[in-house]
Amino acid sequence: MFDITPQKQQKITHFVKTLSKLEKQIISFPYFTKKEISGLVDYCNQLSFREAIPLTKTDVVQDFSVCFPAPKIGLMKKCINHFEQLFLDKNLKQFFSSSLIFNDIAVQKYRAGSSGIGVHRDGLRYRDLILIICLSGRSEFFVANSRDGSNIEVIDDTPGRLVLMSGPGFKNLVNPDNRLFHGVKNIENGRLSIGLRCNSRFH
Ligand SMILES: O=C(O)CCC(=O)C(=O)O
Ligand SMILES: [Fe+2]
């Protein structure tokens, strides 16, 4: 699982390049095997979760439990190493502010019927690329044009797909003020998701 293969390298390189040319700062594509997803679910099942603060300082509704920072052990460690290695590709260097180091790992669990997470932008400190991996459940990860949630577009993050979102430092996000508004809604039967981020304040 999470072996570095020419196929995976090609895929990552292709989709990062594609994202760099897109006006919208998000892309999603099939990536993981069923075994990788179920292995990550097993990893998540060992974690302990706490309730997220229901309303953030910026008035964002949060209805999920979270494990943060999630430990970099077992299959998660393999997964992170896999991505760090693939993003080192010499053809990708031009797109990032520096090498990607996923030092910020969050696992989020939403119960069935949860109100999800309201429209927000991820912190300025999360540079270059944010990876979203949905492991289970049916829900809608959406992007919007503004904080009031206009022009919503649902991104396909069905388990098995990888979502890449631009952060400050990535080639197509010159102005950090243009970070993407997004959220999660319509949690039909729960949602388990992993967010991998490069927190620029850690190093
Ligand atoms: O559940 C997710 O996939 C992530 C939700 C989100 O946007 C966040 O936690 O910043
Ligand atoms: Fe977010």
pLDDT tens-place string over residues 161-184: 999 999 999 999 989 999 999 999
**What is the residue with the minimal CA distance to atom 2 of ligand 1?**
193
pLDDT score of 189: 94
> Would 1 be classed as within a structural domain?
no
- Placement of tokens 């760099």 in the chain: 20
- Closest ligand 1 atom to Cα of 139: 1
Q: Which residue has the tokens 């999470």?
A: 2
Question: At 180, which CATH number?
Answer: 2.60.120.620
Overall domain count for the chain: 1
Q: What is the mean pLDDT of residues 65-69?
A: 98
Residue 202's pLDDT band, with cuts at 50, 70 and 90, is confident
Mean pLDDT of 123-147: 97
Residue 69 falls inside a structural domain: yes
Q: Which atom of ligand 1 is nearest to the CA of 183?
A: 7
Residue 4 Cα, ligand 2 centroid: separation in angstroms?
28
For the entire predicted model, the pTM comes to: 0.97
**109 lies in which domain range?**
6-197
Q: Does residue 188 belong to any structural domain of this protein?
A: yes
**Is the predicted pLDDT of residue 97 greater than 70, yes or no?**
yes
Give the span between the Cα atoms of 37 and 50, in whole angstroms.
Answer: 23
Phi, psi of 108 (to 5 degrees): -125, 135
Q: Which ligand 1 atom sits nearest the alpha carbon of residue 134? A: 3
Helices (H) and strands (E) in the chain, counts: 3, 12
